[in-house]
A = this chain, B = another copy of it.
Amino acid sequence: MISQLDKINEFIARLDTETLTVLNRISVEKIFKKGDFLLRQDEVCKKSFWVVKGTARKYYLNDGKEITTELYFDNDIAISFDSYCLQKPSREFIQVLTDTTISQTDFSSFQTAKQQFPKLAILDLMMTEYYAMWLEDRLFQFHTMDATSRYSKLIQDHPYIVQNIPLTFIASYLGVSLETLSRIRAKK
């Protein structure tokens, strides 16, 4: 997973200026206020959101309860995956948790650009592969680790998370109740 990130970063570093210019041309930087939504349920995800600086979360509603599926920090890319790929209404919300700078890239502009700049198509595949590996790893955690271990891994990967993100969201992301997470933290 990390080596895939290395691969992507190296690939971007080697991109020709022409390709980079196009990428820049189809992207817009915008600042969102804490609590703002990048995407709401039932909307089509027509943009990808690169978190330049800030934090965000993705979640859906499961009989009234919010289930957080992903937390975003600096340099992460936020999309509602199937909504983006298939350009169909999203089941998920994407919400900014602090004042956040976003660089958003239009879906259809990117699709067009891919045809003229094959390197963008390669990049697209590599990023999708990375997402799949990330999902595999998360699934592995749900499959084999208990709540305490999942929490340990999370703070190991993102030590700053606790300062920045309310416990409810972290608990939901880990698939445990708020109370259980509180008790897990009390122990250690």
A133 at the interface (CB under 8 A from B): yes
A143 touches B3 (CB 8 A): no
In the complex, the answer to whether A121 meets B132 with C-beta atoms within 8 Å is no
Which B residues are CB-close (under 8 A) to A1? Answer: 82
Residues in chain B near residue A140, CB distance under 8 A: 69
- Which B residues are in CB contact (< 8 Å) with A128? 125, 128-129, 132
- A139 near B69 with CB under 8 A, answer yes
Say yes or no: is A135 at the interface (Cβ < 8 Å to chain B). yes
Contacting pair B135 A4 (CB below 8 A): no
Interface centre among A67, A138, A140, A143 (most CB of B within 10 A): A143
| A76: B residues at CB distance < 8 A | none
CB 8 Å contact bits of A135-147 with B (1 = contact, 0 = none) = 1101110111000
Chain B neighbourhood of A139, CB < 8 A: 69, 135, 138-139, 142
Complex contact A136–B82 (CB within 8 A): yes
| Chain B residues with CB below 8 A from A118, complex form | 118
Knowing A125-B121, A128-B132, A132-B128, the reply to whether A142 touches B82 (Cβ < 8 A) is: no
Residues of B within 8 A of A136 (CB): 69, 81-82, 135
C-alpha spacing A4/B125, complex, angstroms: 16
A121 closest partner in B (C-beta): B121
**Which residues from chain B contact A162 at a C-beta distance below 8 Å?**
none
A13 vs B143: C-alpha distance in the bound complex, in angstroms?
37
Knowing A121-B125, A143-B175, A144-B62 touch, does A133 contact B85 (C-beta < 8 A)?
Answer: yes
